[in-house]
Amino acid sequence: MGRTKPINDWPAIPFAEWRDTAAALHLFTQIVGKYRLAHSPWINHSWHATLYVTPRGLTTSMIPDGTGGLEITFDFVDHSVRGQSGAGATSSFALEPMSVASFHSKFIDLVSELGGRPSFHGRPNELPDPVPFVEDRAERPYDADAAARFHRALVCVNRTFQDFRTGFRGKVSPVHLFWGSFDLAVTRFSGRPAPLHPGGIPNLPDNVTQEAYSHEVASAGFWPGGGPADDAAFYAYAYPAPEGFAEADVLPGEARYDADFGEFILPYDVVRTSANPDQVLHDFLETTYRAAATLGNWDNALECERGLIGKPPSIDPPDPAATAAGTASASVPSSS
């Protein structure tokens, strides 16, 4: 038993070659994600709205709508959107060149066929000058090969993010895709309240942002492109950023701090073309977290050894003296 052997199967995903397909997928995932958001009880930090990587694409997981719940998946192997319900109904439509309005219409029909209620907010978030979905009639391309390579990249990134996630016994997010910003992310929490976030994210209510950053975080993620680095890149930041965070030494040497975005940035191709991509990415995740945690005086008891297959993590045995003192104090009658 132990850690799985890293596989160097990271695909090339040059953003310039599929920028328009990526923009279409971003909006398509917003439509599906907004449906999940509209029918799910709120979970802290908007974790109830995200999508998750699967061997074939992305999924909502179960949404409490219809009879027995619904699940919607993007299948980047067969290039389709599929839905299934707890009542046994299934429905799907092809991922192909189409307008956002057409995707929206097809998705409304799919949810209806599954017995769900296709009601949700009809305008994109976190994008400048958002066009309502039903009014976005421009034809969008769909490059199936690029979408498949993007999915393979997500699988690789998800693998390393999940492995990194295991080294923290404190509060830590799932590895999930936020469709608003179209990035895969994982976040660790110190457990301490954070200063009120100023908000200001385009077309996102400030109270949503402020709840998301209600507590101190060290977060890392992956963009397919169009972020601080135009091509695909990894990022890492802390909120609030402790003094000295921007000057911290992190790995690998190609990582840089972007002062405009307040994040460390590592090009995806640096990871992809290395001899051991999983390890290079883990080094980036670990050293940026370590900078945030050390400079921010996080409790190191939140950390633990990285998880191994089939082996539960060890825990420190209780201090006998502390246990005895606690037992003794508990047995003393109250004087009141």
Query: Is the domain of 88 the same as that of 185?
Result: no
From CA 279, how far away is CA 296, in angstroms rounded? 25
**What per-residue confidence (pLDDT) applies to 191?**
97
Assess if residue 3 is contained within a domain.
no
Query: How many C-alpha atoms does 47 have within 13 Å on its Cβ side?
Result: 12
Domain boundary among 95, 126, 142: 142
pLDDT of 15-60, one tens digit each?
999 999 999 999 999 999 999 999 999 999 999 999 999 999 999 9
Question: 172: closest CA among 311, 33, 303?
Answer: 303
The residue behind tokens 């950390």 is 303
Q: Strands (DSSP E) along 95-157, which ranges?
A: 98-99, 139-140
From CA 76, how far away is CA 93, in angstroms rounded? 12
Domain boundary among 115, 142, 169: 142
Q: Does 208 have pLDDT greater than 50?
A: yes
What range does the domain containing 80 cover?
Answer: 15-142
Query: Is the domain of 133 the same as that of 249?
Result: no
Q: Which phi and psi (to 5°) does residue 135 adopt?
A: -100, -5
How far out from the chain centre does Cα 12 lie? 21
Please give the tally of structural domains in the chain: 2
CA angle, 296 then 300 then 303, to 5°: 115
Assess if residue 315 is contained within a domain.
no
Assess if residue 5 is contained within a domain.
no
Q: Does 335 have pLDDT greater than 70?
A: no
Assess if residue 307 is contained within a domain.
no
The residue behind tokens 């297959």 is 309
Assess if residue 252 is contained within a domain.
yes
Question: 36: closest CA among 110, 112, 139, 121?
Answer: 121
Query: Is the domain of 50 the same as that of 167?
Result: no
Domain boundary among 81, 108, 142: 142
Query: How many C-alpha atoms does 71 have within 13 Å on its Cβ side?
Result: 13
Query: Is the domain of 293 the same as that of 152?
Result: yes
Query: Is the domain of 239 the same as that of 255?
Result: yes
Quick check: helix, strand or coil at residue 81?
strand
Asked whether the beta carbons of 49 and 121 are under 8 A apart, the reply is: no
pLDDT band at 327 (very low <50, low <70, confident <90, very high): very low
From CA 333, how far away is CA 323, in angstroms rounded? 18
Asked whether the beta carbons of 299 and 188 are under 8 A apart, the reply is: no
Return the structure tokens found at 8. 């160097």
Assess if residue 314 is contained within a domain.
no
Count of helix runs (H) and strand runs (E) in the chain: 7, 13
Query: Is the domain of 133 the same as that of 154?
Result: no
Quick check: helix, strand or coil at residue 261?
coil
Query: Is the domain of 48 the same as that of 77?
Result: yes
Say what angle helices 15-38 and 144-165 make with each other, to 10 degrees.
70
From CA 29, how far away is CA 147, in angstroms rounded? 13
pLDDT of 216-249, one tens digit each?
999 999 999 987 778 999 999 999 999 999 999 9
Query: Is the domain of 102 the same as that of 183?
Result: no
DSSP 88: S
Percent of the chain with pLDDT over 90: 87
Query: Is the domain of 40 the same as that of 156?
Result: no
Query: Is the domain of 150 the same as that of 173?
Result: yes
From CA 239, how far away is CA 111, in angstroms rounded? 38
Assess if residue 320 is contained within a domain.
no
How far out from the chain centre does Cα 246 lie? 23
Query: Is the domain of 113 the same as that of 242?
Result: no
Query: Is the domain of 128 the same as that of 152?
Result: no
First to last CA, the chain: 56
Assess if residue 92 is contained within a domain.
yes
Q: Does 308 have pLDDT greater than 80?
A: yes
Q: Does 2 have pLDDT greater than 60?
A: no
Query: How many C-alpha atoms does 173 have within 13 Å on its Cβ side?
Result: 31
Q: What is the mean pLDDT of residues 199-219?
A: 96
Q: Does 187 have pLDDT greater than 50?
A: yes
Query: How many C-alpha atoms does 43 have within 13 Å on its Cβ side?
Result: 10
Burial of 275 from C-beta contacts in 10 A (0-12 / 13-18 / 19+): exposed
